[in-house]
Amino acid sequence: MSEKTVVEYVLAAPWLVPIRPHGVLEQHGLAIGQGRICDLGPQVELRARYPSARWIDLPHHVLLPGLVNSHTHAAMSLLRGLADDLPLMTWLEQHIWPAEGRFVGPEFVATGTRLAIAEMLRGGTTCFNDMYFYPEAAAQAVVESGIRASLGQVVIDFPTAQSRDAGDALRRAEMQILQLRDLPRIRQSIAPHAPYTVPDHALREAKALARSHGLFLHMHVHETAQEVENALSQDGRRPLQRLDELGLLDEHFLAVHMTQLTTEDLDLVAQRGLRLAHCPESNLKLGSGIADVAQWQARGIPFGIGTDGAASNNDLDLFGELRTAALLAKGRDGDTMALAAAVALEAATLGGAMACGWGDSIGSLEIGKLADCIAVDLDHPATQPLYDPISQLVYCAGRDQVSHVWVNGELLVNEGRWTRLDWPGLRAQAQTWARRIAAKDRQA
């Protein structure tokens, strides 16, 4: 930090989980100034060092980095509950894609993204990695809300609300990258939807575009067994192998889902340095499979945790997702260490930050990092008595216990209430959309 940074306030709590280094610090505080963490240390020392800074006491709370949602389709919050209990391709082809074709446009995306941001912020998510149409409308919602996001420029090779085919989508992406480039708290990716919806030439172009702008690729890969089987019968290769032969796979590639990996696939993922996004609840609900996160860890493959969209999850609750991830891995393998609590929490914070284009700037509470931070109130029957705050956070705390949320040092949730957001107005807009969508759905 520069010598001149002025400490504006100090957050003080009985427990602080910095993520890096591992462990729990007791009676520590964070000094914040100009949107960054300027100091971190025992409260007695911070009091002496910054006698005139505003002191914010959080007497029953644990402070930790804001959670990072490594994969979502924020605007799909408006399609929550529209089609449940279906496998992926039936869900997409018979319900979601027709609904998106009818309703998606900039207004839909702006309202849906605002609704998703409201839900995510209240639940302790300070950054999300999005893949959806009209990212410029999502960007507007991000800027006005104060949250942080990586927004994907979608590439898909069929007619959608926003483009005719993959070539058209790529041309649009190229222009939009420049439009969104300098917006605050926004980074971007190129997001080819999936191996089965984007042809080789467009994947090569997507990679070239990403490279030329220093962006990462964000793609659904090996989500279901059917995806892999279809690719094998149509093309003779597994999708990952095809992506590798096209030169796409490296540390700037975020592969989402990855529930279907052989030993050879896992070796390739590790060799190429891919980053993965684990979305256990969406994978369960769509019956897609269960990712082998123990093998990911055994090979040192970095990963984050994502909710996927609210139309397949059906919530954007990263605390719930964390718990599902930690429990599911143990049940899958009969191994209680398949995903330990502290590892799951690291994936939902630092792992997500690294996977979604934010490098080392967020995801842990360390001096010099951006001040994205949350307080969870442990004075609740669900989290008492207390032996280990990390255990409480992963195995029993609910998102309603998130009391305060700061992004870039700005307080966006104060004692469980949004500071910037107009909830009655937003709820009315979301309900207007729901009436329209339900009316059409009844006609169909």
Ligand X SMILES: CSC[C@H]1O[C@@H](n2cnc3c(O)ncnc32)[C@H](O)[C@@H]1O
Residues that constitute the known binding site for substrate: 100, 193, 223, 308
In this complex, which beta carbon is closest to ligand X, that of residue 50 or of residue 91? Answer: 91
Q: Scanning residues 97 to 116, which ones bind ligand X (CB under 6 A)?
A: 100
Binding at 223: pick from ligand X, Zn ion, none (beta carbon under 5-8 Å per type)? ligand X
Helix H, strand E, coil C: the string for 330-394 is HHHHCCCCCCCHHHHHHHHHHHHHHHCCCCCCCCCCCCCCECCEEEEECCCHHHCCCCCHHHHHH
In this complex, which beta carbon is closest to ligand X, that of residue 187 or of residue 369? Answer: 187
How far apart CA 347 and CA 23 sit, in angstroms, is 15
Could you say which of 131, 215, 329, 405 contacts ligand X (CB under 6 A)? 131
Q: What long-range pairs does 80-85 form, CB within 8 A, spacing at least 24?
A: 80/310, 80/311, 80/314, 81/311, 81/314, 82/311, 82/437, 82/441, 83/311, 84/285, 84/314
The arrangement of strands across the sheet holding 125-131 comes to 67-72, 125-131, 148-155, 186-192, 216-221, 253-257, 275-278, 303-305
For position 281 contacting Zn ion by CB under 5 A, the verdict is no
Least distance between ligand X and beta carbon 199 (Å)? 15
* 127-166 burial: b if 16+ Cβ within 10 Å, else e: bbbbbbbbbbbbbbbbeebbbbbbbbbbbbbeebebbeeb
For position 372 contacting Zn ion by CB under 5 A, the verdict is no
Span interacting with ligand X, options 125-133, 297-305, 339-347, 418-426, rule CB under 6 A = 125-133
Q: Are strands 25-33 and 36-42 parallel, antiparallel or unpaired?
A: antiparallel
How far apart CA 98 and CA 113 sit, in angstroms, is 20
For position 133 contacting ligand X by CB under 6 A, the verdict is yes
Cβ atoms within 10 A of the Cβ of 270, count?
16
Q: Scanning residues 272 to 291, which ones bind ligand X (CB under 6 A)?
A: 282
Q: Scanning residues 303 to 322, which ones bind ligand X (CB under 6 A)?
A: 308-309, 312
Site string for ligand X, 54-73 (x = CB under 6 A): -------------------x
* 415-435 burial: b if 16+ Cβ within 10 Å, else e: eeebeebeeeebeebbeebee
Binding at 146: pick from Zn ion, ligand X, none (beta carbon under 5-8 Å per type)? none
Site string for Zn ion, 33-72 (x = CB under 5 A): ----------------------------------------
For position 223 contacting ligand X by CB under 6 A, the verdict is yes
In this complex, which beta carbon is closest to ligand X, that of residue 100 or of residue 265? Answer: 100
Could you say which of 95, 220, 369, 404 contacts ligand X (CB under 6 A)? 220
Q: Scanning residues 80 to 99, which ones bind ligand X (CB under 6 A)?
A: 88, 92, 96
Could you say which of 119, 157, 308, 346 contacts Zn ion (CB under 5 A)? 308
Which residues here bind Zn ion, judged by CB under 5 A?
A: 308
Which residues here bind ligand X, judged by CB under 6 A?
A: 73, 88, 92, 96, 100, 131-133, 154, 156, 193-194, 220, 223, 282, 308-309, 312
